[in-house]
């Protein structure tokens, strides 16, 4: 099922609890929290103290997207603050496997993010570990940017790999999600839609969330199936993406 994840990056921080609750009434089922450090991306936003405050304002899952240079240092604090999902950038993690395991060990759902210029095939070995993959459809760091069309192929590729390998990760998309782009993103296969400015930008989050979700679910009814047949993955991809046994270091035989 397609879900809407309103991003508080575009919300009115003076009335954050009220805005989140309005977006929830409009159908939002996940709250997306962008954590930026001014190093990995050219902007600074919020950290664990605000996440702890958000936890008091909503029972919805808090989806923390870490756009930071040293994500491992903040994972324990985010767990304590009440985060539910934590996504880390492929581009920011020196030891991605270790970072994902650390998130899982702290009782949160691990996820990986790729920037527009990062190829899906670089994730094959860790896909069995993640709750979702977040495709950035803009370059990270700021809200209100224009959607990058070639990221649609990344969504299709991730859906095809998921079907080919029998995995269950979800595909999340963040950046430029609005009324004019939401249908094509859903038709490509995305099922978690992050929207900030399109929900909160004009001060009417409940109405905007409801409208976006209606459009997304209408598009989901027309999605082409099966997605896996749209790409010819071949035996090599299937072989390379088999889960690695943590003890022996060998790939499992399916």
Q: What is the mean pLDDT of residues 137-165?
A: 94
Beta strands, E only, the chain: 3-6, 31-36, 62-67, 85-89, 109-114, 132-136, 170-174, 192-195
Q: 10 Å Cβ neighbour count for 213?
A: 21
| Three-state DSSP string of 69-136 | CCHHHCHHHHHHHCCCEEEEECCCCCCHHHHHHHHHHCCCEEEEEECCCCCHHHHCCCHHHCCEEEEE
Residue 222 — very low, low, confident or very high, per pLDDT cuts 50/70/90? low
**pLDDT value at 92 more than 50:** yes
The phi, psi pair for 51, rounded to 5°, reads: -60, -40
How open is the CA angle 246-250-254, to the nearest 5 degrees?
A: 100
Per-residue model confidence (pLDDT) at position 229: 42
Per-residue model confidence (pLDDT) at position 144: 78
Delimit the domains of the chain by residue range.
3-240
Per residue in 154-192, pLDDT tens?
999 999 999 999 999 999 999 999 999 999 999 999 999
Cβ proximity of 154 and 54 under 8 Å: no
Per-residue model confidence (pLDDT) at position 142: 79
Q: 10 Å Cβ neighbour count for 30?
A: 22
d(CA 152, CA 159): 11
**Helix, strand, coil proportions of the chain in percent (round to 5)?**
40, 20, 40
Average pLDDT, the chain: 90
Per residue in 67-90, pLDDT tens?
999 999 999 999 999 999 999 999
**pLDDT value at 149 more than 70:** yes
Per-residue model confidence (pLDDT) at position 143: 77
Catalytic annotation, residues: 34, 174
CATH class for domain 3-240?
alpha beta
d(CA 31, CA 105): 22
pTM, two decimals, is: 0.87
Q: CA-CA distances (angstroms) from residue 54 to 32, 64, 90, 104?
A: 11, 11, 26, 21
**pLDDT value at 199 more than 80:** yes
């Amino acid at each position: 099922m397609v879900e809407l994840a309103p991003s508080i990056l575009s919300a009115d921080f003076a009335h954050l609890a009220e805005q989140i609750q309005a977006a929830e009434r409009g159908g939002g089922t996940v709250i997306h929290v962008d954590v930026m450090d001014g190093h990995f991306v050219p902007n600074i936003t919020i950290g664990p103290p605000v996440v702890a405050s958000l936890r008091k304002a909503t029972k919805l899952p808090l989806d923390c997207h870490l756009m930071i240079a040293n994500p491992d240092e903040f994972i324990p604090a985010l767990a304590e603050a009440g985060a539910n999902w934590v996504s880390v950038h492929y581009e920011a993690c020196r030891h991605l496997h270790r970072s994902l395991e650390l998130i899982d060990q702290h009782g949160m759902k691990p996820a990986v993010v790729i920037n527009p210029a990062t190829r899906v095939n670089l994730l094959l070995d860790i896909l069995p570990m993640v709750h979702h993959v977040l495709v950035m459809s803009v370059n990270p760091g700021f809200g209100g940017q224009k959607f990058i069309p070639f990221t649609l192929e990344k969504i299709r590729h991730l859906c095809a790999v998921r079907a080919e390998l029998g995995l269950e990760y979800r595909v999340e998309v963040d950046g430029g999600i609005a009324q004019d782009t939401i249908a094509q993103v859903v038709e490509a296969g995305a099922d978690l839609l992050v929207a900030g400015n399109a929900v909160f930008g004009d001060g009417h989050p409940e109405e905007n969330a409801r409208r976006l979700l209606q459009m997304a679910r209408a598009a989901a009814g027309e999605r082409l199936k099966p997605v896996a047949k749209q790409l010819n993955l071949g035996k090599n991809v299937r072989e390379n993406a088999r889960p690695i046994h943590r003890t022996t270091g060998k790939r499992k035989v399916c």
